[in-house]
């Protein structure tokens, strides 16, 4: 899936959507960050999850916003600096 010039192509790897992982082809170069993994946690409601992140002293770095396919995602940082993301899927 094309995520635009800054992020490049988004690739999914796995046997099915419920047990897969993905990656962006040129995010490290265009965003000037080292290559890394960002773990996504499936939550019932991404908007409610980011409120809890902030309430517990964490930061919301990006989002929440809708991505192609209808999921809502947000990238976050815990109070110790660890990065993670949350994702919620619409009812199907």
Give the total number of structural domains in the chain.
2
Q: Considering the chain, what percentage of its residues have pLDDT values greater than 90?
A: 46
The mean of the pLDDT values for the chain is 81
Q: Does one domain contain both 55 and 77?
A: yes
Q: Does one domain contain both 56 and 31?
A: no
Residue 15: in which H helix or E strand, if any?
none
Q: Does one domain contain both 43 and 29?
A: no
- pLDDT tens, 25-62? 665 666 666 666 788 899 999 999 999 999 999 999 99
**Domain of residue 44, CATH code:** 3.10.180.10
pLDDT, mean of residues 59-74: 90
Give me the torsion for CA of 28, 83, 15, 4, rounded to 10°.
Answer: -40
């Amino acid at each position: 899936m094309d995520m635009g010039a800054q992020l490049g192509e988004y690739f999914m790897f796995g046997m099915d959507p419920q047990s897969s992982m993905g990656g962006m082809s040129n995010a490290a170069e265009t965003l000037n960050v080292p290559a890394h993994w960002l773990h996504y946690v499936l939550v019932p409601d991404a908007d409610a999850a980011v409120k809890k992140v902030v309430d517990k002293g964490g930061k919301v770095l990006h989002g929440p916003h809708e991505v192609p396919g209808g999921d809502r995602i947000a990238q976050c940082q815990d109070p110790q600096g660890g990065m993670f993301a949350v994702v919620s899927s619409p009812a199907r």
